[in-house]
Amino acid sequence: MAEYFAIQASVCFAVSHILIRRGLVASNAITGSFISLSISAVTLWVMIPFFIPLSSFRTSAVWYFIVAGIFAPGLGRILSYVAIERIGVARSVPVVEGQA
């Protein structure tokens, strides 16, 4: 069963990178990453009340995690989209995914 989920995840990642490349034909990397990050952020913030107790947000350290959650995925996704736009999916994705 684990092999099935691994293959399914790899197929979904491959399809998503190809669709990103097709979307970058009509747009640019900044716009694509902004739309992608906005949808991800809204989805995750809507799911927070169902999975995390709201009392965990009352600490002062939560701001470090919020700032890191904004900048790290944002910068990584922008650079990944720029790489896909400039050198293509086949050459950029193994380099980007190999760093994670």
For 89, residues 6+ apart whose C-beta sits below 8 A from its C-beta are 17, 18, 20, 21
Each residue of 40-88: pLDDT tens digit?
Answer: 889 988 998 899 888 888 888 888 888 888 888 888 888 888 988 888 8
pLDDT surpasses 70 at 7: yes
Nearest residue to 76 (alpha-carbon basis) of 25, 27, 36: 36
Domain ranges of the chain: 17-99
Tell me what the mean pLDDT of segment 1-16 comes to.
92
Each residue of 23-51: pLDDT tens digit?
Answer: 888 888 889 888 888 998 899 889 988 99
* 100 vs 76 pLDDT, higher one: 76
* Model pLDDT, residue 99: 59
* Model pLDDT, residue 54: 82
